[in-house]
Amino acid sequence: MPASAHFKLWMKLKAEALKPSTSKSMPLEYPKEYPLEEEHTPHYNPRQYYPVEIGQVLGKRYEIILKLGYGTSSTVWLARDKKKLPWKKDQFVTVKVANTGFINILSAEQEKVALRYLAEANPKHRGYRYITKLLDDFTIRSPEGRHVCLVFEPMREPLWLFQKHWDDNKFPIPIFKRLVKLLLEGVDYIHTKGRLIHTDIKPDNILVGFENDQVLLDHIEKALQNPPPTKHTPYRTIYKSNNDFGTLLGPPKQLQIADFGLCFWADSVHPRQPLGQANRFKAPEAILRAPWSYSVDIFNLGVTLWNMLENRMLFWGRDPRTGRYSELCHVAEMIAVLGPPPRALLERSKRAKRYFRENGQFLAPNLVPHNLSLESTVVSLHGEERLKFLRFARRMLRWIPEERATAAELLGDPFLWGA
């Protein structure tokens, strides 16, 4: 990418000062009676979000250009690093602004410490390149308290959005195998060199990079000309995320495992410590409150394979009576797919009595779907390759945590190296 392209865009940003003008469209004002973006999140508290504004400079360095996304505990923004020379291609960054509140601050601080350690653990390891890198961090304040800000290089999109570029939102088999190898390399690095347990591996937390620098530059120019809708509230301006980078122009240059806000140091995990995970990705030990360790990440990745290969959830956990998620229904689906859990697991579970009788019999056998099995969920593979995949997946999807293969062991599986 020639330096002139970056310099040209920098001059445009400087001239327009990232403010509305007559030369470009005015942003649409979103109706106040309808929720926008983070207002949809569970237990939404508007006071906890920092009032980020387009054109604002955070940390005396990062000039906000547009909003990339949001969550229950943060918002994410594309910014220009004012300390970088305009012809440098790394002048653009992503700034994750954490909410106030003890849990949000703790999570952001935990992610900061974990990423700093992972950056230095062993850069020569193959999996090092597949872990997100923390470029900078700083703290800002609002009337409600402290906000931890983490700075990363910009990435194109999460894995679930990336796969929409293919037919039926499914990765072609060669690409699927390649991605799984890279993810296993990254998980192996997290486990063996970082001695960390991610605990939240899912498509939202796997990011892919840009195919080339021009994609990001073009996106910024379009955003300047067509500002996204906004909604003004008593606490702040809410912007609609602008994260559609258009048609894929080639293979992405990077893949990264991100969001370490819920990670744990393996040496610090207490055998009876509760484990919170995203509902439909929960490992058995998270539901049953049984001892857990590194292998929760392996189970999470095993579930993620179905999102990538079949564009579906392996486990829904949906209660047919309410339509909402239910751990009881989740366990019922696990029984259908994996068979009944071994007594050895139930005996060390704090919550086994919620779901099973003393003899190990499931309390709600009528909820076990009789038309569901691991085999029935795989329709994109056939013949010997399908059998190899099922054997590969079963090495990850085990009731007993210690029986799951490690990331290093899975990297040698025949399925990943077949034609």
Structure tokens at 249: 């122009």
User: Do the Cβ atoms of 290 and 350 come closer than 8 Å?
Assistant: yes
Rounded to an integer, the average pLDDT of 278-282 is 94
Q: Read off the pLDDT band of 23 (50, 70, 90).
A: very low
What confidence score (pLDDT) does residue 59 get? Answer: 95
For residue 127, what pLDDT is reported?
Answer: 96
| b/e map 149-178, b = 16+ CB within 10 Å | bbbbbbbbbbbbbbbeeeeebbbeeeebbe
Model confidence at 22, in pLDDT bands (50, 70, 90)?
Answer: very low
- How many Cβ atoms are within 10 Å of 35's Cβ, its own excluded? 14
CB atoms within 10 A of CB 37: 19
In tens, the pLDDT along 317-343 reads: 999 889 999 999 999 999 999 999 999
For residue 10, pLDDT over 80 is answered with no
Q: Is residue 60 within 8 Å of residue 114, measured between CB atoms? A: no
Q: Give the up-direction half-sphere exposure of residue 344: CA atoms within 13 A in the CB hemisphere.
A: 6
Does residue 311 fall inside a structural domain? no
Query: Is 252 among the domain residues?
Result: no
Is position 291 within any domain? no
Residue 274: predicted pLDDT: 79
CA separation, residue 148 to residues 74, 159, 236 (Å): 10, 25, 18
Confidence of residue 225 (pLDDT cuts 50, 70, 90): confident
Query: What pLDDT does 8 receive?
Result: 61
From CA 252, how far away is CA 242, in angstroms rounded?
19
pLDDT tens digits, one per residue of 53-69: 999 999 999 999 999 99
CB 63 within 8 A of CB 18: yes
- Give residue-wise pLDDT tens across range 32-44: 888 999 999 988 9
Dist. CA 45–CA 4, nearest whole Å? 44
For residue 283, is it within any domain?
Answer: no
Kindly state whether residue 54 falls inside one of the protein's structural domains. yes
Arithmetic mean of pLDDT, 122-145:
95
| Mean pLDDT score of the chain | 91
For residue 405, being part of any structural domain is answered with no
Inter-axis angle of helices 295-310 and 173-188, to 10 degrees?
160
Taking 90 as the threshold, does the pLDDT of residue 367 lie above it? yes
Tally of structural domains, the chain: 1
Q: Is the pLDDT of residue 263 over 90?
A: yes
Domain of 222? 1-155+211-244
Q: Mean per-residue pLDDT for 384-390?
A: 97
Reference 331, options 340, 342, 343; nearest CA is 340
Position with higher pLDDT, 148 vs 24: 148
Percent of the chain beyond pLDDT 90? 78
Q: What is the CATH classification number for the domain harbouring 102?
A: 3.30.200.20
**d(Cα 160, Cα 169) in Å, to the nearest integer?**
9
| Rg of the chain on CA atoms, in Å | 23
Per-residue pLDDT, averaged over 134-156, amounts to 96
Contact, 198 vs 184, CB < 8 A?
Answer: no
**Residue 158, beta-bridge partner list:** 207
β-partners of residue 300 are: none
- The structure tokens listed for 67 are 């909003």
Rounded distance, CA 66 to CA 76, Å?
Answer: 9
Query: What band does 20 get if pLDDT is binned at 50, 70 and 90?
Result: very low
The answer, yes or no, to whether residue 120 has pLDDT greater than 90, is: yes
Q: pLDDT at residue 14 above 90?
A: no
Read off the pLDDT of each residue in 189-216 and give the average, rounded to a whole number. 95
- Residue 29 is predicted with a pLDDT of 85
The tokens for 271 are: 């055998």
343 assigned to some structural domain: no
Q: Out of 175-189, 240-254, 319-333, which region has the weakest mean confidence (pLDDT)?
A: 240-254
Instruction: State mean pLDDT over 136-159.
Output: 95
Q: What is the pLDDT of residues 389-399, one digit of tens each?
A: 999 999 999 99
CA atoms within 13 A on the CB side of 291: 11
Instruction: Check pLDDT > 70 for residue 379.
Output: yes
The answer to the question of residue 234 being in a domain is yes
pLDDT given for residue 3 in this prediction: 59
